[in-house]
Structure 1
């Protein structure tokens, strides 16, 4: 398994995590970002650039370690509160406010009018909306926005310096531009990786969920075939598409013989196994383009697009023989034969109306059961065992 797949599996159920656990994830990400910034600070302390405000750097040298320590402390308490119901929302608020306020402070230090601030302002709320309730994200984002506006206003009117990490002449020196660009790339990099990386993971998980939900919505859980709604939709589409080209559509409706007796004599588990055997037999016998679903109880419906009645009867007979050759073992390991009765109809005789073509197939199915079961009946003839 590749590294990316291991990461995806680790965060596979992140959307189902508790708010505290999600908050711990946010805090860990922030600590990594802070350590990234701290590495820049340490490098400049020992190898200072001529564009760095060294006095400010040394005067605030313990600021980042203190913020990191507070983050680690929050993680410690979060781990202890992870299973506490009362702490879920409270800790989510605390962690998101810590995240947003910390990044605003760091943004002020390096300058609020740059691509790093824009990336965080655009990406962090998106990241937050995936993890937390909207009110939590709005509260933290609103606070951060007010702080940014206040700091920007104070900087614009000269009450506080803009980007105090850098010397004032830094922003006017043409030769400083490459250094400034490298600094901004350095500061933006961890935000870019975490925001876009985790959002990608979350959306992968979301897409997987959507596929799973769609599969559940169209699948019969017992037989793993289409459920009634899905197979009816397949028939509707087949009739609509083939009606335009005047291609025939055939419908096969089948019912497991004496299914109630199987349930009464051997129990519902054996009855379920019988349905599963029939479903598996139909899947292995039908063509790839054919569609089959559980229509209700012990009934199955098969949609045969671009198939004339004569060919549909042959396919139904092939399925009948395959089912009669299958068996189910009961609790005493005795083999129970399973048979089914089939009714076949076709749009060539019934037209392309769904109700009419299904009603005709149901009519022939009733005749097959009335005439002795385990046979295929259509308007053409009756094929007996």
Structure 2
């Protein structure tokens, strides 16, 4: 599609980099070039129209070929704006046109900088800002080569006058010191401009006074500095505006990406990965005297719901149950979709009795909820829950056992290094100091709660089973067996 000015809105412009095809992005770059060339063409028009005023500062003879070159570049950019869409599927041809566009523009802007008088402001904006913008729209390797070539041209323009090379220059008046015989830091091009200005003034007026020379100097300096600002400032503002828009959409994309990564799309709950991450962080920050409860919830007969009513109704059930979970728990709880019809609920700083009460109330809330599907179909669902509470005492025992294991591993590494006469490994000592809970502690807690959930399923579903009670019963059974059944 052809690019128009209407595409330059704040939001649309920022999405160009991510949504448009390569041909459209190249066409947009051609539009940006066309806008800059149009400003140059307008400058030539104003100087030509008021040449009676600007003739002392501008070489009008050189203005005409420059104006023709600007017009040709503008016509080419205008053609490129609509030319690239028909070849959007031909990558080879598209890359060739991109290389041609970047090369022509780099050459054009270098010529403009040279002819209009070398300005660090114009050169800097064109070299850095233009290159960064172009890299977002076309092949970076073309822009990188053009950037290096442009830098080489600027360097050459700076050095060539010191070797006696005269470059074409529109600037006819750039006096910064007088008389010429005194020492001052003037480049060769500035000295030449002074001589030309003196000659031109002498021929036009017949005599050159100090007052007229001073007036010419200030007028020339103002005109050319205003020209350089006109060439550079709008372009700089435009580039900063575009980068601001792009950074805004990058921030939005980052937020959206994190949301998709951290949030389950169907239920709007935490994703499994993000839920486990939050669980690990909560487990690390829990105090030594606080218990840590985990609930694993599974909807009963969910496969039958999908088979009888369809997957759309099954998704509706998951969304309704998720809404119940969001309304039921406070922000302290970590609620995530663990997988399929399973939900993981983490309750930091929650004792076992309180967690059992919460789980039972949740089970009742889900059982009382009426699901309304299409065609006025209504039904209820139930859930089975497995609960495990890691007490602060059990957590201390796990920490101690893990630290002992890490210490043994460190001692083994130390003995091994001594056998081969290596420097003692201090990493093991650091491991002992930093050893807390094992890395897989979260998975252990979930696995324990899952056993209770499996037991709840086996007992007929729609109930809460405590893994702590199961472990206590197993412990009593082991003791009875060890004591010959006398307990």
Could you say which TM-score interval applies, normalised by the shorter chain?
0.7 to 0.9
Q: Which residue number corresponds to residue 208 of structure 1?
A: 252
The Cα offsets for residues 15-65 of structure 1, whole Å up to 9 and x where unpaired, read as 232222111111111111111122222222223334333332245333322
Distance 1:102 1:247, change over 3 A: farther
Cross-structure match for 2:424: none
Q: Give the corresponding residue for 1:325.
A: 368
Moved more, 232-241 or 38-47: 38-47
Q: Does residue 248 of structure 1 match 2:251?
A: no
- Whole-Å separation in 2 of the counterparts to 1:222 and 1:237: 25
Structural mapping, 1:333-344, within 5 Å: 333-344=376-387
Tell me, yes or no, if the aligned pair for 2:293 and 2:390 is still in contact at 8 Å. yes
Q: Which one has a bigger Cα radius of gyration?
A: 2
Deviation at 1:139, TM superposition (A): 2.6
Equivalences, count: 378
Once residues 292 and 162 of structure 2 are traced to their aligned partners in structure 1, the CA distance between those partners, rounded to angstroms, is 74
CA 1:38 to 1:197, structure 2 compared with 1: closer, same or farther past 3 Å? same
Q: CA deviation at 1:237?
A: 0.7
Given the superposition, is the C-alpha separation of residues 108 and 203 from structure 1 closer, same or farther in structure 2, using an over 3 Å criterion? same
Alpha-carbon offset, residue 193 of structure 1: 1.9
Q: Is the Cα contact below 8 Å between 2:84 and 2:94 reproduced in 1?
A: no
Post-superposition Cα deviations, 1:197-227, rounded to whole Å, max 9, x if no partner, equal 2122222222222222222222323323222
Residue 32 (structure 1) aligns with: 35
- Aligned counterpart in structure 2 of residue 19 of structure 1, from 16, 19, 22: 22
**Partner residue of 2:264 out of 208, 220, 231:** 220
Following the alignment from structure 1 to structure 2, what is the Cα–Cα distance between the partners of residues 292 and 346?
A: 16
1:44 maps to which residue?
47
Distance 1:253 1:46 in 2: 82
- Partner of residue 346, structure 2: 303
The TM-score normalised by the length of structure 2 is 0.70
Tell me what 2:466 maps to: 378
1:197 to 238, 241, 246: 241
- Runs (5+) with no aligned partner, structure 2: 1-5, 178-213, 396-436, 471-487
TM superposition shift of 1:148: 3.2
Cα deviation code 1:71-117 (max 9, x no counterpart): 21222322443454443322222222222222111111223342110
**Which structure 1 segments of 5+ residues have no match?**
none
SS in structure 2 at match of 1:131? coil
CA distance in 1, matches of 2:11, 2:175: 43
TM-score between the two structures when normalised by the length of structure 1:
0.87
Report the aligned-residue RMSD: 2.8
SS in 1 for 2:331: coil
2:444 aligned residue? 356
Q: Distance in 1 between matches of 2:139 and 2:331?
A: 45
The aligned residue for residue 101 of structure 1 is: 107
